[in-house]
Chains A and B, each alone.
Chain A
Amino acid sequence: MSPFLNTTLRPYLNAVRATLQAALCLENFSSQVVERHNKPEVEVRSSKELLLQPVVISRNDKEKVLIEGSINSVRVSIAVKQADEIEKILCHKFMRFMMMRAENFFILRRKPVEGYDINVQTQAGGLRHPLHGGNRQGDQRDETVRQRQGPYRC
């Protein structure tokens, strides 16, 4: 590992952080296609005007991050460096372990985008009740639902 390689880590992370800061500007946006639905536009990709330019930040040809934004959601795809066979296997197994438990992680995607190893996806106003669609305005409504269904039914 050349000493030069280590000097790209800090600028790489800073560049990713700055780009995320720009892309993570989200607002709640109900679906324009189906009423009373609130879908992550970066996943559905139904309307061109709601999507941002996808942007890549690469440290070298093996490690890169793809950031796709939209009006209410952002998807970050990470390609992890895998130097040899054993690292490839370990990475694959570890990612699979986490992605199988994506429901508990909330922001993990179950399948990585083509060419990358793992995806993190988040949506404005869509996190608290993954099973309830519809309008997100309702701290009050959510409270009523919680009372009806009990605190552990989430």
Chain B
Amino acid sequence: MSKQAASARFRRVDVDEYDENKFVDEEDGGENQLGPDEAEVDSLIRQGNLMEALHAVLKNPPINTKNQNVKDRAEGLVLKVLSSFKSSDIEKGVQSLDKNGVDLLMKYIYKGFERPSENSSAVLLQWHEKALAAGGVGSIVRVLTARKTV
């Protein structure tokens, strides 16, 4: 029988790509998110106003942006604020946050664990303990199930 001259390229098609039920992560345009304002946070730390610095650094989380530098900078800034707290003040700092703030704090804490430096893990572990007391296991579950992370 004569062989079809038509190509057999249909065999190379990845059928799963065209499945209409296929799960695709939403791509929010996040190019404008710059992360927390560095100058503001630095000045608040220097003034010693740590509560305000905590609130300021948790504003504008770079969740949607794909730019890794922005995320790294934000993480560094958060770590700086968290390290400048005294151990006895950590609990008050966590209490001053609302539920979303605690969730965001948990995200930053886990992000910070990925790159341990000098003393960072010890500080982060203290914050983790207090944030866990405030947010419960639910806050950890929300970190695990978040599609977009900080």
Binds A, one of B6-14, B39-47, B119-127: B119-127
**Residue A145 interfacial (CB < 8 Å):** no
Q: Which residues of B contact A55 (CB under 8 A)?
A: 110, 113, 143-144
Q: Which residues of A contact B126 (CB under 8 A)?
A: 11
**Residue B141 interfacial (CB < 8 Å):** yes
**Residue B145 interfacial (CB < 8 Å):** yes
Complex formed: what's the CA distance from A88 to B138 in Å?
A: 37
Report yes or no: B116 in contact with A11, Cβ–Cβ below 8 A.
no
Q: Which residues of A contact B149 (CB under 8 A)?
A: 53
Proximity string of chain A (1-33) to chain B, C-beta cutoff 8 Å, 1 when within and 0 when not? 000100110011011001101110100000000
Give B125's nearest chain A residue, CB to CB: A11
Report yes or no: B144 in contact with A52, Cβ–Cβ below 8 A.
yes
Report yes or no: B121 in contact with A18, Cβ–Cβ below 8 A.
no
Report yes or no: A8 in contact with B122, Cβ–Cβ below 8 A.
yes
Q: Which residues of A contact B25 (CB under 8 A)?
A: 48
* Residue of B114, B117, B145 touching A56 (CB-CB under 8 A): B114
Report yes or no: A22 in contact with B122, Cβ–Cβ below 8 A.
no
Report yes or no: B110 in contact with A48, Cβ–Cβ below 8 A.
no
Report yes or no: A58 in contact with B141, Cβ–Cβ below 8 A.
no
Report yes or no: B125 in contact with A22, Cβ–Cβ below 8 A.
no
17 contacts between A and B (CB under 8 A): A7-B122, A8-B121, A8-B125, A11-B125, A11-B129, A12-B125, A15-B125, A18-B128, A18-B137, A19-B140, A22-B141, A49-B23, A53-B143, A55-B144, A59-B116, A61-B117, A61-B121
